């Protein structure tokens, strides 16, 4: 009997832990975060991210600290991090909305120079698509002001100076002239990375 009680307590503790990790997120919320990140990553040929409970707990712990002020201040932790908030009309910002805001920065990113347009921000976008990042965890809280605070953490983090967030598609292909085809090249691909 004592063994069964200990087992039951252990199971309840694990269930409570996972409930607290994503206290404000439904399965649909989690799926929305992951799907939107992965759509952007697929556009540049990077592997999809996977949801990570440790990162989600870190994000939730930090979001809980921002509930009084909804301040857009980074945690300065060991992970990559994107933040978003909504006030007024956008007070009930969704995870999908937040990721789409970050991805919209794509318009300001120049791959060739690996820089943002003058006076613009694009680092949230580059973190979303960073090629070496494999895991994401996010959180959302309703602030006392009525606004929403959203944070996503990434591991391994991205945005390293001098590195690019992805390799262009054409770096995966080698174009060779066709000896018998006059003006039509033949494309030899490595893997399935050429569209």
Q: pLDDT per residue over 89-113, tens digit each?
A: 667 889 999 999 999 999 999 999 9
Query: 185 falls in which pLDDT band (50, 70, 90)?
Result: very low
Alpha-carbon distances, residue 28 vs 22, 36, 149, 186 (angstroms):
12, 12, 18, 44
Query: Contact at 8 Å (CB) between 23 and 106?
Result: no
d(CA 139, CA 61): 9
Q: What is the pLDDT of residue 17?
A: 37
> Does 150 have pLDDT greater than 70?
yes
In a domain? residue 188: no
CATH number at residue 93: 3.40.33.10
Q: What is the pLDDT of residue 169?
A: 63
Q: What is the pLDDT of residue 186?
A: 42
Q: What is the pLDDT of residue 27?
A: 92
In a domain? residue 130: yes
In a domain? residue 102: yes
d(CA 20, CA 60): 9
Beta strand pairing call for 173-176 and 186-189: antiparallel
In a domain? residue 32: no
How much is the mean pLDDT over the chain?
Answer: 81
d(CA 116, CA 165): 13
Mean pLDDT of 155-169: 92
Question: What is the model's pTM?
Answer: 0.75
In a domain? residue 107: yes
In a domain? residue 177: no
| Burial class (CB within 10 angstroms; exposed 0-12, middle 13-18, buried 19+) of 139 | buried
Name the DSSP letter for residue 176: E
Beta strand pairing call for 50-51 and 135-142: parallel
pLDDT, tens digit, 9 for 90 and up, residues 33-78: 999 999 999 999 999 999 999 999 999 999 999 999 888 999 999 9
Q: How many domains does the chain have?
A: 1
Alpha helices, H only, the chain: 2-21, 27-43, 53-65, 95-103, 123-129
- Owning domain of residue 133: 47-73+86-165
> Does 116 have pLDDT greater than 90?
yes
Q: b/e for 103-115, b at 16 or more Cβ within 10 A?
A: bebbebbeeeeee
In a domain? residue 8: no
d(CA 169, CA 194): 6
Q: What is the pLDDT of residue 81?
A: 97
């Amino acid at each position: 009997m004592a063994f069964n009680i200990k087992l039951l307590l252990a199971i309840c503790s694990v269930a409570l832990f996972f409930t607290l990790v994503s206290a404000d997120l439904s399965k649909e919320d989690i799926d929305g975060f992951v799907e939107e990140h992965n759509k952007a990553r697929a556009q540049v040929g990077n592997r999809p991210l996977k949801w990570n409970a440790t990162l989600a707990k870190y994000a939730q712990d930090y979001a809980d600290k921002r509930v009084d002020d909804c301040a857009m201040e980074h945690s300065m932790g060991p992970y990559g991090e994107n933040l978003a908030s909504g006030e007024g009309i956008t007070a009930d910002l969704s995870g999908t909305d937040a990721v789409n805001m970050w991805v919209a920065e794509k318009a300001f990113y120049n791959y060739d120079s690996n820089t943002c347009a003058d006076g613009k921000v694009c680092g949230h976008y580059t973190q979303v698509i960073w090629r070496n990042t494999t895991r994401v965890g996010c959180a959302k809280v309703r602030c006392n002001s009525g606004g929403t605070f959203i944070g996503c953490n990434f591991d391994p983090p991205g945005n390293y100076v001098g590195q690019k967030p992805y390799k262009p598609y054409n770096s995966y292909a080698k174009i060779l002239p066709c000896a018998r085809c006059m003006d039509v090249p033949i494309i030899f691909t490595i893997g399935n990375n050429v569209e």
